[in-house]
Amino acid sequence: MPLIVPFLNDPSTTSTSSTIPNIMTDPSTAEEFAVLRQTLKSSLRQYPDFPQPGILFEDILPLFASPSLHAQLLRALEIHVTSTFPPSLTPPFAGVDVVIGLEARGFLFGPSLALKLGASFVPVRKAGKLPGETVKVTYQKEYGQDVFEMQKDAVKPGQRVLVVDDIIATGGTAAAAEDLVGQLGGEVVGFCFILELAFLKGRDKLKAPVFTLLSGQE
Ligand SMILES: O=P(O)(O)OC[C@H]1O[C@H](OP(=O)(O)OP(=O)(O)O)[C@H](O)[C@@H]1O
Ligand SMILES: Nc1ncnc2[nH]cnc12
């Protein structure tokens, strides 16, 4: 009988809406994950007053500038997703069919994560970039308003979708993606972010469970 270890006693890994069962059966994987998080967190940069006064901008790009950090990021995300949605389980905790990445920074790691999970990758793009029939939604984010679009045949009814992005701030962007998936009859089984600005309470706007790898700006 494997030892069941609580995944992490950290508020950034739990959801207020519903809770993902963050358990891991292998203690050495839990330890590996904790070390990965520490390394990744210490590699982020912050820029005050960008892109406008009053915003403390969290820059995740150093994670991609170094091949080693890039690999560690993907390993951390893979550990999380496969321990939360093991392909061998039955719903609601079975695997993921589609990973959706949100423009633009969700495109940096969404496709690689999808490949690791054996899932499809689908982009959600800013308006006017996608050919063919699309669904659309207008949304508010931490610094402005935008329009998101997804191709109509990108998600099939009943498919299990994981939405990924670099940051959740006010949650407007992620909620817009959840809306688009719902319009196509897909099921968002979870959200996965690298970083969460917890004080903005963005996760409260989302119906599906939320996982964030790192916390920021308490
Ligand atoms: O939770 P919210 O308040 O909605 O903000 C989070 C969103 O804001 C940023 O994207 P941005 O719209 O700046 O676009 P970009 O990735 O194309 O630069 C970030 O990458 C998230 O997608
Ligand atoms: N403070 C922030 N830093 C980086 N990306 C963001 N997207 C929304 N708010 C952000």
SS3 label, residue 106? helix
Predicted local distance difference test score (pLDDT) of residue 24: 66
Taking the C-alpha atoms of residue 127 and residue 145, their distance in angstroms, rounded to an integer, is: 12
Ligand 2 pocket residue status of 140, Cβ below 6 Å: no
Q: Which bound ligand lies closest to the C-alpha atom of 178?
A: 1
Domains of the chain: residue spans and CATH: 24-212 (3.40.50.2020)
Residues of the chain with pLDDT under 70: 1-24, 90-93, 217-218
Q: What is the pTM assigned to this prediction?
A: 0.90
Q: Which bound ligand lies closest to the C-alpha atom of 204?
A: 1
Predicted local distance difference test score (pLDDT) of residue 92: 65
Ligand 2 pocket residue status of 169, Cβ below 6 Å: yes
Instruction: Please count the other Cβ atoms lying within 10 Å of the Cβ belonging to residue 99.
Output: 26
Predicted local distance difference test score (pLDDT) of residue 13: 42
Taking the C-alpha atoms of residue 67 and residue 65, their distance in angstroms, rounded to an integer, is: 7
Ligand 1 pocket residue status of 212, Cβ below 6 Å: no
Q: Respond yes or no: is residue 160 known to be catalytic.
A: no
Catalytic: which of 58, 142, 178, 196? 142
Predicted local distance difference test score (pLDDT) of residue 167: 97
Taking the C-alpha atoms of residue 188 and residue 171, their distance in angstroms, rounded to an integer, is: 15
Predicted local distance difference test score (pLDDT) of residue 3: 28
Q: How far is the CA of 196 from the centre of ligand 2 (A)?
A: 9
